[in-house]
Amino acid sequence: MPAPDNALIVQSDGSILLEINAPRAAQARDALAPFAELVKSPEHVHTYRITPLSVWNACATGLTSERMLAALREHARYPVPSNVEREILELAARYGCIVIIRDADGLVCRCEDPTTAERIARDREAGRYLTERIASTSFRIAPTARGVLKQALIGVGYPAEDLAGYVVGEPLDLELRACTPSGAPFQVRDYQRQAAEAFHVAGSERGGSGVIVLPCGAGKTIVGIVAMRLVRQTTLVLTTSLSSVSQWRRELLDKTSLRREDIAEYTGERKSSGPVTLSTYQMLTWRADRVGEFPHLELFRARPWGLIIYDEVHLLPAAVFRATADLQARRRLGLTATLVREDGREGDVFALIGPKRFDMPWKDLEQQAWIAAAACIELRIPMSAERRMEYALAGRRAQFRVAAENPAKTLHLCRLLRQYPQGRSLVIGEYIDQLEAIAKEIGAPLVAGKTPQPERERIYAAFRKGDVRCIVLSKVGNFAIDLPDADVLIQVSGAFGSRQEEAQRLGRILRPKRDGRAAHFFTLVSRDTREEDFAHHRKLFLTEQGYSYEVRLAREAFQTGPTPDADLEVA
């Protein structure tokens, strides 16, 4: 029987529609999100899809196919099509029906049944890594093929569960502090401990590889530190920037018993390795020319690492993927705010780093006050007649930049900053010329790629102390920077429709505030341009996490009106 109050409409083509105004829409979204991907989110009906990776990641976190089907049946307005139910059951059944194990003679790929074994043996990609058939369902594989075989099996549609175990790294003496050196109490939050334990799975061969998904500001670094404490072996931490290296060093010294001499840095400034070594993706992927070797990838072999941590794993470069394929005997932990990759290599993250082990909805953390509440607003700004003509005459790709650098954005930016005189504000964008003009207009320091690291740290420190209340940031602001008091972020331009960038930028202002105030996330978009289309795609991530996204239209009179609110209307 139809249930008209239910929010989901499951269609036979596998798409799932969520009516956001239905009475139980929020509960339906929370039930659906762990095993489905959001495809689009217009005003009234959001569209999801079930994919092999979404189901396999759900299985890896312990969600069964029966619970997935129960969620659909509970919230579906009409009966769930039988072919959709079969698809979920078949995809879930494939997770774990191929395992990689180790016997006395080496690595073995073992299948659940002879039919599956024949299928992978005859596959052009997967079959090339099976060196010898040792039973009707088992094959010998070379140690060096462990990673590339898992990649190939994803392509066949049969993800391998890797139970072959890990080599042992050198011991690492690490304890967590009860109080920081400044005397502040330190306690690991329950969800941080659960995330680290889900990765480690103490005493189980299933532990030791995988990805933890938590929002920026929720303490992913602490999760990594707790994982280090559980593993207690030499650790290599790979990050996105020198600022992130500094942040990891500060947190390790502040929260653990490690001494300064225990933590080495392998960067452009110094190249050393120690019991804990911090480096960047940029360092590892440097080479003298486009066709040369990557000399610094040797860091992976510098020590017998017991654990490798990939911070912001959704940004992992292709060269590090290739190196990681050879490192499957090392424990690997990925940390990220989103599994979305703009290059479509989510399958490689699954195969080479590991499946998702822990995920917690952003809104759940907000309700528990572990991250700040956030209001997300898109402000659509008109262009002048001259700018509209320039836009009309530009090529399709150039149009995006013409719209992104709309000079009228600066006027609205200044008014937004005046609305929050006590705020700690970040202005972030894509184009340096635009950002330099904005920084000059508002009298704020600019941090860009060419800003020397000591100068960056000086500006960040002044912001943390309150001496500087606004910073203008280029794309360096997308990555880990420790600015916990930031509560207003205004993005004036972005990387086309990047959902991962939207996640990173929102995360810059989600650290809980001492006075409990909410965060405000503004996106300035040129009206009636392609920028609106890209902004719509970017906000998919916000919708996935349960955030409402208000669209406001700036009228022509806004440039001369007395107050911002007087000249805004809600779309």
Strands of 136-198 (E only): list them: 138-141, 160-162
Query: Percentage of the chain with pLDDT > 70?
Result: 91
Greater confidence (325 vs 291) lies with: 325
Domain finish residue from 296, 330, 360:
360
Per-residue pLDDT tens digits for 208-267: 899 998 887 788 999 999 999 999 999 999 998 888 899 899 999 999 999 999 999 999
Same domain? For 420 and 552 the reply is yes
Q: Which residues of 518-546 are buried (b: 16+ CB within 10 A; e: fewer)?
A: ebbbbbbbbbebbbeebbbebbbbbbbbe
User: Could you give the dihedral angle defined by the CA atoms of residues 27, 32, 33 and 39, in that order, rounded to the nearest 10 degrees?
Assistant: -120
Q: What are phi and psi of 40, to 5 degrees?
A: -155, 155
Average pLDDT score, the chain:
88
Residues 233-250: b if buried by 16+ CB within 10 A, e if exposed: bbbbbbbbbbbbbbbbbe
* In a shared domain, residues 316 and 411: no
Query: Is there a single domain that holds both residue 516 and residue 483?
Result: yes
Give the pLDDT score at 10. 96
Per-residue pLDDT tens digits for 278-323: 999 999 999 888 878 899 999 998 899 999 999 988 888 888 988 9
Q: Is residue 38 part of a domain?
A: yes
Distances (CA, A) of 323 to 120, 244, 281, 409: 24, 22, 12, 43
More confident residue, 35 or 506: 35
Q: What is the CATH number of the domain that holds 233?
A: 3.40.50.300
Say if residue 539 is in the same domain as residue 415. yes
Strand order from edge to edge, sheet including 568-570: 446-447, 470-473, 425-428, 488-491, 519-526, 374-381, 549-554, 568-570
Same domain? For 342 and 379 the reply is: no
Give the range of the structural domain holding residue 131, as residue numbers without chain letter: 98-162
How far from 219 is each of 118, 417, 477, 511, CA to CA, in Å? 45, 28, 17, 9
Question: Is 184 contained in some domain?
Answer: no
Give strand pairing partners of 210: 333
**Is residue 330 a part of any domain in this protein?**
yes
Average pLDDT over residues 67-95: 95
Q: Give, as one character, the DSSP assignment of residue 389.
A: H
The predicted pLDDT at position 565 comes to 44
- The residues near 376 (Cβ < 8 Å, ≥ 6 apart) are 506, 521, 523, 539, 542, 547, 548, 549, 550
Q: How many domains does the chain have?
A: 4
Q: Is residue 382 part of a domain?
A: yes
**Could you tell me the two tokens for 70?**
């129960």
Residues 50, 58: Cα–Cα separation, whole Å: 11
Q: In whole angstroms, what is the distance from residue 219 CA to residue 205 CA?
A: 26
Residues 293 and 208 occupy one common structural domain: yes
Place of tokens 């440039």: 559
Do 131 and 58 reside in the same domain of the chain?
no
Residues contacting residue 165 through CB under 8 Å, at least 6 positions apart: 102, 205, 208, 329
In a domain? residue 379: yes
Sign of CA dihedral 180, 186, 191, 196: positive
- Backbone dihedral region for residue 422 (phi beyond 0: left; psi -120 to 50: alpha; all else: beta): alpha
Inside any domain, residue 173: no
Residue 138: predicted pLDDT = 96
Whole-angstrom Cα distance, residue 438 to residue 436? 5
* Displacement of CA 20 from its chain's centroid (Å): 25
236 in Cβ contact with 305 (< 8 Å): yes
pTM value is: 0.82
pLDDT at 571 over 50: no
d(CA 490, CA 470) in angstroms, rounded, equals: 11
* 3-state secondary structure at position 356: strand
The per-residue pLDDT for 243 is: 83
Pairing between β-strand 470-473 and β-strand 425-428 as defined by DSSP bridges: parallel
pLDDT band with cut points at 50, 70 and 90 for residue 555: low
Determine the length of the chain.
571
Q: Are 488 and 469 in contact (CB under 8 A)?
A: no
Looking at residue 216, its pLDDT comes to 76
CA 102 to chain centre: 32
**28 and 76 in one domain?**
yes
Does the pLDDT of residue 557 top 50, yes or no?
A: no
Spatial separation of the C-alpha atoms in residues 257 and 298, rounded to whole Å: 28
- Domain end call among 38, 67, 93: 93
Residue 180 lies in a domain: no
| CA dist., res. 77 & res. 50, Å (int) | 18
Residues 375 and 274 in one domain: no
Q: Do 382 and 325 share a structural domain? A: no
Other residues' Cβ atoms within 10 Å of the Cβ of residue 319: 17
Please say which residue of 33, 58, 93 terminates a domain: 93
Q: Is residue 447 part of a domain?
A: yes
Would the pLDDT of 370 be above 60?
yes
End-to-end CA distance of the chain: 37
**pLDDT average, residue stretch 473-487:** 76
Per-residue pLDDT at 192: 96
Residues 304 and 348 in one domain: yes
Query: Is the CB of residue 516 less than 8 Å from the CB of residue 399?
Result: no
Name the most confidently modeled range: 102-116, 309-323, 365-379, 476-490.
Answer: 102-116
Does 441 share its domain with 485?
Answer: yes
Q: How far apart are CA 383 and CA 385, in angstroms?
A: 7
